[in-house]
């Protein structure tokens, strides 16, 4: 599909290098059009206003914590009705909880309530929240969610 451009970013230069080597099929084309060594907000700020159809952030928000800046940049670069798909490690909140917590794993957990609040704050509608096992770590399931937001304004 020559009309599809996939751009990626990672803070780890090693992951950038690995991504640049990825090919479609045996000896196929490169998967990524570009791969940058930038944080997510800075990366997204490089795109023109309303120039991106979809942003995907799998296992990204767990390292960012507060996703407000990233969702703000998504809102700027996404086209009308554009989508954001991402994963979060989820947990149950208490009444005094902000919905964002540093977990014992050293990664951030995001509650369903927090994600919904951030979506509303930045003009997104939550199209889907699916509880899922994101990965295995030390032989145990890491629970989380796969979330899809749609730009509303």
Cα pseudo-dihedral 40, 43, 49, 50, rounded to 10:
-60
- Residue of 94 and 61 predicted with greater confidence: 61
Residue 128's pLDDT is what? 98
Q: pLDDT per residue over 84-99, tens digit each?
A: 999 999 887 777 778 9
Residue 115 contacts by C-beta under 8 Å, 6 or more apart in sequence?
Answer: 67, 88, 99, 126, 129, 145, 147
Residue 93's pLDDT is what? 76
**pTM (two decimals):** 0.90
Angle between helices 112-121 and 68-77 (to 10 degrees): 40
Q: What is the share, in percent, of the chain residues with pLDDT greater than 90?
A: 77
Q: pLDDT per residue over 120-149, tens digit each?
A: 999 999 999 999 999 999 999 999 999 999
- CB contact at 8 A, 84 and 60: no
């Amino acid at each position: 599909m020559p009309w599809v451009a996939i751009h990626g970013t990672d803070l780890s230069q090693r992951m950038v290098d690995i991504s640049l080597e990825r090919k479609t099929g045996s000896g196929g084309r490169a998967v990524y059009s570009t791969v940058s060594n930038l944080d997510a907000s800075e990366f997204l700020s490089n795109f023109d206003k309303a120039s991106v159809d979809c942003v995907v952030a799998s296992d990204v928000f767990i390292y960012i914590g507060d996703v407000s800046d990233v969702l703000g940049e998504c809102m700027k670069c996404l086209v009308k009705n554009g989508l954001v798909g991402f994963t979060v490690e989820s947990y149950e909140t208490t009444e005094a909880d902000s919905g964002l917590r540093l977990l014992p794993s050293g990664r951030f957990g995001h509650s369903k309530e927090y994600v919904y609040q951030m979506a509303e704050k930045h003009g997104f509608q939550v199209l889907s929240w699916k509880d899922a096992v994101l990965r295995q770590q030390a032989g145990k399931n890491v629970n989380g969610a796969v979330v899809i937001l749609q730009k509303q304004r």
